Amino acid sequence: MGGCKEGFKITEEIIALDNLKAKVFKYITYKKRTANEVRQKFAGENQDLLEDVIEYFKEQNYINEEEYIERSINEFLSLKSLSIKEISYKLSAKGVDRHALDKYICDNKEKLLEYEINSAKKLIEKNLGKKDVKDIKKYLFQKGYMSESISIAIEHLDI
């Protein structure tokens, strides 16, 4: 293999690194991913090279746990009725950094509590004709809703 400058040679490792960067780049630009998702997708690759590629994309801000958490939670808030615990579980399953997730939840506790109460209200209203209040409470509790959120939601619905 030739080189571009005297003393510089393109090695197999440089080619492998470049190819892996290209594959990972395509994967993370199609949809935002966590570092853990990248590790899982490319588990068959050279792990040392993969860690270098992940670090490179973190430095370039293509892989950013905090942004991923914020974007995902905002998506959940606008599209679904979930408890804070369910949101946390879904993101943990994606492999997000637990410390970053806990920090986000603590920093946005009021907004998330309000969301959880409103989600509980929606689920109560949806199930009210089908189940009694006791069963609805049990259902919400099993889904991870805090008892405080369930009580507030029931109070606001005047049941």
131 has pLDDT over 50:
yes
Instruction: Give the pLDDT score at 55.
Output: 96
CA distances from 87 to 46, 72, 84, 94 (A): 33, 9, 5, 11
Mean pLDDT of 98-108: 94
Residues 70 and 147 reside in one and the same domain: yes
Range of the domain at 128: 65-156
pLDDT in tens, 58-85: 999 999 999 999 999 999 999 888 999 9
Of 112, 113, 120, which is closest to residue 143 (Cα–Cα)? Answer: 120
Q: Provide the pLDDT for residue 19.
A: 92
- 3-class secondary structure for 92-156? HHCCCCHHHHHHHHHHCHHHHHHHHHHHHHHHHHHHCCCCCHHHHHHHHHHCCCCHHHHHHHHHH
Of the residues 27, 43, 59, the one at which a domain ends? 59
Q: What is the overall mean pLDDT for the chain?
A: 89
Residue 35 lies in a domain: yes
* 40 within a domain of the structure (yes/no): yes
Q: Is 1 a member of any domain? A: no
Specify the higher pLDDT residue, 4 or 99: 99
Pair 27, 84 in one domain: no
16 and 47 assigned to the same domain: yes
Same domain, yes or no: 74 and 131: yes
